[in-house]
Structure 1
Amino acid sequence: MKQIIISLVVLVLAGCSSISEMRERGPHSEFKSKKEAQVLATCITMEWQKFKVVGGGATDVSMSLLPNGFSVFTPNQTEVADVHNIDNGSTVNFFVQTGLFDWRINQRVDGIKKCI
């Protein structure tokens, strides 16, 4: 039984990527906005917090500083939105872990689109 549990943990962890690995693979989606990066990142954070997780609670979402922008991410960096200032607005690069359900990815993309 112990070997089965260890095997399952190894399989789960093998499917997880670091933020840098996700960034190296390239974004799932890219967006542009006329809003400043801080305003847009704050809006994305608030939209993503509206999504319910199993058990009905709100999703934990964090935001950190990047050079020339912000990174919005969910626990374990499952989904990441990098928001950067550009001339006349900002860009959003949306990254996801491999193997996520489409409905979950679509919820995050919809949250970004509401803020654009």
Structure 2
Amino acid sequence: MKHWAGAVALAMLAGCVSMDQMRSAGPAQVYSSQKPAAAVAECIKVSWANVQLFGDVADVFMENGKAGDFTVYTTESEYFADVSGKGGATTINFYAKPGAKVVDQRGAVVATCL
């Protein structure tokens, strides 16, 4: 059991490092919205999980960060969006791993949530 917990922790850490590397390289697309950050993040999460749009895809998750901030991401963080709300405005930074499929489709879905 102890080894399993260590493996899970390493897998989570590997995902975080990958996301941090992608963040330092800059977003693939940047969006803004007047909607609350929580509503935008939930819309992205639900839309990215739509099998009719993307076929049999990875799971989609959402984490709360600092007050008003969310990260929506797919399994292995192939795609993720940092959603940040400040002063009535929401900024969405969309990231995709190099070579990821359907990047434009995922970005277009983000745009529908604005």
Same fold (TM over 0.5): yes
Percentage of pairs with the same residue? 30
Q: Kindly report the root-mean-square deviation, in angstroms, between the aligned alpha carbons of the 2 structures.
A: 2.0
Partner of 2:74: 74
Give 5+ residue unaligned stretches, structure 1: 1-16
Give 5+ residue unaligned stretches, structure 2: 1-16
CA positional deviation for 1:53: 8.8
Code of the residue aligned with 2:62 in structure 1: it is: M
Q: TM-score, normalised by structure 2?
A: 0.77
Aligned residues: 97
Code of the residue aligned with 1:98 in structure 2: it is: P
Judged with a 3 Å threshold, the aligned counterparts in structure 2 of structure 1 residues 42 and 53 are, in CA distance, closer, same or farther, namely closer
Counterpart-to-counterpart distance in 1, 2:38 and 2:27: 20
Partner of 2:111: 113
Q: Does residue 57 of the first structure (1) align with residue 60 of the second (2)?
A: no
Counterpart-to-counterpart distance in 1, 2:98 and 2:107: 15
Q: TM-score, normalised by structure 1?
A: 0.76
Report the structure number with the largest CA radius of gyration: 1
Counterpart-to-counterpart distance in 2, 1:73 and 1:37: 15
Q: Does residue 98 of the first structure (1) align with residue 88 of the second (2)?
A: no
Code of the residue aligned with 2:87 in structure 1: it is: D
CA positional deviation for 1:85: 0.6
